[in-house]
Structure 1
């Protein structure tokens, strides 16, 4: 379909009036962008070539070739009856059957479907058919196509009903009408009403005012008040979304609906969806389980507090262990890191990522290089890709002017030969690319013949020197989603415009299509999310490295997966990209978790030596709680005071000396990304190092990662920088939110 709009010379309001809509309905429609787009598309819709072939074969089989007309839109207007039916199609058509909408419109415009009852029957039939092949005979039978109801047929039906219901009065006209409709479903409702009124007049005479009076309803007496028994309020039940976060999505078995409509400048609209055969094959592999994936790009691996692609779904496997989330026991999360970018020079970043994800069963995208190459060859064979020789300057000009590449229409065999030369290293870097043949005149710039493969004579960190051509993100990630049988592909909102290219490619290759859903980033206050800004923080040494302001950094500081999960569950899921989550909400969940798990101990940050000279030489044993909410056998004879102290291990021997790092918020402003001088907003006290703190002797055996509550100071974890005899502790979080109070 060729998309139409105001730019095509006709305003939507004029178009809607031409098809017979009354002025009020037309104006209300124009005020609704979604309905306007749908109705405009309906008015301009044409049959695809495959649909034309189907109708031609159907006509030949019936000997009706002369009556098979290839309806070509109603842009010149139509009568009001047809227009009202078209409006119903625009507002009520089942979304899972959009592939069959042109066929239904053909029946409407050719007056083979001409009543609302027939249209509703068509909606029901098509909804059940979904994207499967349409059985024309069954469709026509279900919709009453070709059924002619004469005046005599209607009269006969009315007479039969009257004979059975002579005692019905005027108040039961609706029931009479319903009985007749059941007997003659395709009869014109206006004619049915006229005949019923005539028969009623003949039977009962003129309708009087008394006939129009409504029966007086007697008020029911209120029952006596029962004795009120106060019961304990039951705990609030979890919502369906809390019990099953995937309840807002279609189940894997329902993934047959149209995912998106892709409009082209030179061909019919593409309604991307899975065929029954493809979906059945997918379900046989997955067993109907939910498969999702955590896709991490090394360039965005650091982000303020955690990864910039740190999706709220990242820790779902942990949720599966929680009794309140039994549905997630049937969830499979695939951890994948994108290592296709050969511009990435920080090999250590990939190594860190690999360590982070391999422990969770993660795999690099480069494991699919062979399959991706073979599918690229198939894409060329199908006429959907070509080898291009535009340099950057040419490419920019052609994109700005929406012009096709001079090499776009080269023969398929020529592109196959050149792509093979690219693979074998026979073409210089930058002299050729493989492009997908999409639509350079599209309104969506993500359909501008995107690059599928580039030449890069750079050894790969994982695959070695086997390849000198590398797939692009736009080409690789949707194919790998399909190869891994992902049911729900979840990504952030900036990828919403990429839906068209995502589904176009999978449709072009005949591959399974996952359900794609975009959501907002997890924006937390007092940090930045931009990869460019994060790169500056690290390269200009404002932070200590890539494991400082990242997910690994949170773990290094002692934050547990359980507390992050609780934080994420408390936030919920949203598509609003403007919300900022306060940092203290995360800290609350961290405290809640560590309060239950971190043993208490004593550390003095700024020690002041106190010598008691007049104390008796006797020894007094004191017991203090090591754990919160300790049982009776852990009862304390140590009462809480206003000072805390650490004693010498023995006379003249200093307590255990440790280093303590006090971490605070990184930026002073809640949203530093909005500031021009965002680096000037860095908190000068975001990290304070105390090198000569004193701790109780029992801490000398603490290991890296161990977590403690330092009495009256906060929660701390042993850092990896610790050495024998020199422990280093990182502050995880204070005992309470002290930001607003300026505390440490």
Structure 2
């Protein structure tokens, strides 16, 4: 419905300002002819050309931009409810859109409509306050952890789910008051925000604020999956997300489509974990697994492991095998393993249908031309070619009759949109490359933007969960399913997981691996899950880490490496038996001990071992010759030093005090050959220092010699990816190999993957490079937990 200029009471700008739109929104609206015509028609239809209050005006704007096109016959009725303030909130209006969309051209009972929209329902402030209190009680752990950095929109969403017709202003007021009651005044740290660093000043990247300050995870009782709706709610039209900084489209299924879907799925939750098999999975994928597999498990549903294999040039069987292995190691069991390539025939047939419906065309622009035209919001010269011609050309593409790069199939979307992901995205491209899964059957392959939403729909996914960088693709996701009349899953984006002192970009990881800056995809310095596994990190520690972070849309999601290390220590402290290893051996001869005598001493495997539990101890040989760490001896003593020095005593752990009586130097009088000492078997001497050691059991048998690899942060700065020359930030001490360490004999039978606490040194794991002749240990993490203590 268009309104002639002479019929309007002033210009469109005057009209829009009269209904309460701010000037910026009004001017932006005028720049879009379609919205201008729609809003002008709505204002006249509602009879408010002389103006109305801002609340009504904002609802009219939503009607102009979001009203379902299949229900225009009912729009006057809805406008009457808005002007009379019977419908007065965005939530009620969303429910109205949903009801009218499912009713379409049919007549309906006003009573049913009013019930569906909450007309006449008054939610008291007391009801809202009680619900806010319940939400805060349920999320108290996370709120105390994040303080004022908590995503208030998430809290708002929990309240809104329970009280959909509550006044949002009152909800916001009570949430703010409750936050103040629980947390008190904002601190300077609460008000800090991550600062965007200029590229020309990469040195300041380290000043960027990191998301977390407290090592203690939220309560295990906290259920992070409560934020997700049930499958039967997927018929609603969600036009706005309260916690987003802009309106974001959500799903819209008719009741008929949803009922068919629920019948196929029996109402169960269906999710999918869709990695592209073009590299190894990293810790960010651990969060993705936790969200998708975890939601399905928590709701008694199913989660697909779906390989997103639309690019035959990038995929390798090595990556496919790795992904399946690592998903199992992480503790998740897929409902079914599928490939996007399993659906190539269905995807092709739907592409043909897309052309037939006038929503796709064959294009001959080069990639450079496509980019230029997209930047200028210009239509392709082939955008309006006849449907029959596009169908013929697409068939020729499929049959290999057109050269690679000479044609693509593009979706006919909206080249005037403010969202670049609606600029006629490519649906198919030509690649004369055999596919690792489907062979040489196809020479055209679908794009991610075309395939993933359709396969979600074909697999009846109820919750399509992804990270925030895909948020702008949501419009394209729903556009495509809508024009093909396919079932639409519920889409939810959450913050991506980034960890300090590492890189997580697959491109950068691949560069590090292929250029041998690291020792393969499973190098223990990388945040790949294979690297963490090889380093001795357990899947349960990783899952505890990602669970503690939670599922939010908070942009501040760079987590300190120390937080992950906290969870690793928490587990290894309970599960890794103690033992003793000396990294840099210094020989000590106990002169008052009989030569050749070896005593077996009891050493604790576990910190809190009961003296009555023999299994909690292991035998350590003590002899006349022992080896201590070079760093535990000094030629010059000091008050703040508790190691061994000339004339000073220390306690050998689990053994006896010894006192240094002589230092034997080499011919250069600089390097130390050995230390001579006497021991006090009565233990009457009570030195402050306690050091670890390894004995030489006899003159014929040397101590067990092992290789120890000390791993540290791969990069020096917290955000190396923001450096232009990010490789220059690699920590040269990230891997230190010690080939001549001595270990107690009991470690001789250790097997690959066995974990231990080396007393005073850290937690270590037996590496896959070990041989029967030589054990290799990787340091998993140091003993000391510095998390939250540095003040950073």
Please give the TM-score of this superposition, normalised by the length of structure 1: 0.70
The structure-2 alpha-carbon separation of the partners of 1:333 and 1:128, relative to structure 1 and needing over 3 Å to count, comes to closer
Indicate the SS of the match to 1:431: coil
Report if aligned partners of 1:86, 1:105 keep a CA contact under 8 Å in 2. Answer: no
Match of 1:542 among 517, 520, 534: 517
Equivalent position of 1:726 in the other structure: 774
Matched, 1:583 2:561: yes
How far 1:688 moved relative to its partner?
0.4
Whole-angstrom CA distance in 2 between matches of 1:516 and 1:345 = 26
The structure-2 alpha-carbon separation of the partners of 1:313 and 1:240, relative to structure 1 and needing over 3 Å to count, comes to farther
Equivalent position of 2:357 in the other structure: 382
How far 1:608 moved relative to its partner?
2.2
Equivalent position of 2:487 in the other structure: 512
For 1:555-566, list aligned pairs within 5 A: 555-566=533-544
Match of 1:570 among 540, 548, 561: 548
Equivalent position of 2:235 in the other structure: 256
Equivalent position of 1:147 in the other structure: none
Indicate the SS of the match to 2:558: coil
> How many aligned residue pairs are there?
595
Matched, 1:717 2:709: no
Match of 2:322 among 345, 352, 364: 352
Report if aligned partners of 1:386, 1:408 keep a CA contact under 8 Å in 2. Answer: yes
The structure-2 alpha-carbon separation of the partners of 1:318 and 1:256, relative to structure 1 and needing over 3 Å to count, comes to closer
Equivalent position of 2:22 in the other structure: 30
Report if aligned partners of 1:42, 1:90 keep a CA contact under 8 Å in 2. Answer: no
Indicate the SS of the match to 2:429: strand
How far 1:478 moved relative to its partner?
1.0
Equivalent position of 1:178 in the other structure: none
How far 1:390 moved relative to its partner?
1.8
Equivalent position of 2:59 in the other structure: 89
**Which of the pair has more CA radius of gyration?**
1
How far 1:101 moved relative to its partner?
8.0
The structure-2 alpha-carbon separation of the partners of 1:11 and 1:658, relative to structure 1 and needing over 3 Å to count, comes to farther
How far 1:448 moved relative to its partner?
1.4
Indicate the SS of the match to 2:232: helix
Equivalent position of 2:343 in the other structure: 368
Matched, 1:678 2:647: no
For 1:180-199, list aligned pairs within 5 A: none
Report if aligned partners of 2:29, 2:36 keep a CA contact under 8 Å in 1. Answer: no
Report if aligned partners of 1:244, 1:327 keep a CA contact under 8 Å in 2. Answer: no
Equivalent position of 1:172 in the other structure: none
Matched, 1:607 2:585: yes
Per-residue CA deviations over 1:713-737 (Å, capped at 9, x if unaligned) read: 1111111222222221111111113
The structure-2 alpha-carbon separation of the partners of 1:541 and 1:85, relative to structure 1 and needing over 3 Å to count, comes to closer
The structure-2 alpha-carbon separation of the partners of 1:117 and 1:453, relative to structure 1 and needing over 3 Å to count, comes to closer
How far 1:547 moved relative to its partner?
2.0
Matched, 1:408 2:387: no
Whole-angstrom CA distance in 1 between matches of 2:417 and 2:107 = 37
Q: Unmatched 5+ residue regions in structure 2?
A: 3-9, 115-216, 242-247, 620-652, 656-688
The structure-2 alpha-carbon separation of the partners of 1:521 and 1:420, relative to structure 1 and needing over 3 Å to count, comes to same
Equivalent position of 1:14 in the other structure: 14
Please give the TM-score of this superposition, normalised by the length of structure 2: 0.66
Equivalent position of 1:428 in the other structure: 403
Equivalent position of 2:426 in the other structure: 451
Root-mean-square deviation (CA, aligned residues, Å) is 4.2
Equivalent position of 2:312 in the other structure: 342
Indicate the SS of the match to 1:246: helix
The structure-2 alpha-carbon separation of the partners of 1:436 and 1:290, relative to structure 1 and needing over 3 Å to count, comes to same
Equivalent position of 1:247 in the other structure: 226
The structure-2 alpha-carbon separation of the partners of 1:483 and 1:702, relative to structure 1 and needing over 3 Å to count, comes to farther
* Stretch of structure 1 that moved more, 337-346 or 585-594: 337-346
Report if aligned partners of 2:269, 2:299 keep a CA contact under 8 Å in 1. Answer: no
* Stretch of structure 1 that moved more, 333-342 or 710-719: 333-342
How far 1:414 moved relative to its partner?
2.8
Matched, 1:285 2:264: yes
Equivalent position of 1:116 in the other structure: 85
Report if aligned partners of 2:218, 2:548 keep a CA contact under 8 Å in 1. Answer: no
How far 1:113 moved relative to its partner?
8.1
The structure-2 alpha-carbon separation of the partners of 1:469 and 1:650, relative to structure 1 and needing over 3 Å to count, comes to farther
* Stretch of structure 1 that moved more, 449-458 or 412-421: 412-421
How far 1:487 moved relative to its partner?
1.5
How far 1:473 moved relative to its partner?
0.8
Per-residue CA deviations over 1:528-564 (Å, capped at 9, x if unaligned) read: 2333433332233221122221111011111111111
For 1:320-335, list aligned pairs within 5 A: 328=298, 330-335=300-305
The structure-2 alpha-carbon separation of the partners of 1:296 and 1:340, relative to structure 1 and needing over 3 Å to count, comes to same
Match of 2:756 among 694, 697, 708: 708
Higher strand share: 2
The structure-2 alpha-carbon separation of the partners of 1:661 and 1:417, relative to structure 1 and needing over 3 Å to count, comes to same
* Stretch of structure 1 that moved more, 427-436 or 71-80: 71-80
How far 1:501 moved relative to its partner?
0.7
For 1:494-509, list aligned pairs within 5 A: 494-509=469-484
Equivalent position of 1:212 in the other structure: none
Equivalent position of 1:418 in the other structure: 393
